[in-house]
Structure 1
Amino acid sequence: MLKNRASDVVGFDVPHEVSRPCCEPLSSFFLLAVVAGIFGFTTIAGAAATIAKILFFIFLATWIILLALGISALKRL
């Protein structure tokens, strides 16, 4: 019901498939860290894990901000 209401009020169709392009770099660096750790390249594994952690917190902060903006926008309706 919320899906129909949001699309009627805002005037756009809600897509049925959800794309998550922000998770692709995070999963790539995580996979690189795991593979490098298995083969003993600890410097590369540590760097990739650090990048993955940084990207995770950036995406988490972005998600929280957008969630707060979405909730405040729905309250105004």
Structure 2
Amino acid sequence: MPAGTASGTDSDTWEQQCPLCGQSNGCAVAQGLPAAQCWCMTAEIDPQALQRLAPAERGQRCICPACGRAEPAQPNPGD
């Protein structure tokens, strides 16, 4: 980090922000912790949620637990 730069940079915010909803992604790596401690290492991530990421963000940005969770099928009100 360049001298005189605050630790709360825009880059830090970008790394810790879910690109789908804008909330904290809870990424352990972005917080300086080992990847093994991240919530996503033990969670089943909805593949459709990952497809919602822009191609340039896939493998580069972390989504949050709420966005990564598979949504249960909603009953059709017309049924």
- Normalised-by-shorter TM-score class: under 0.3
Higher-RCO chain (CA-CA 8 Å, sequence separation at least 6): 2
* Higher share of residues assigned helix: 1
TM-score, reference length from structure 2: 0.24
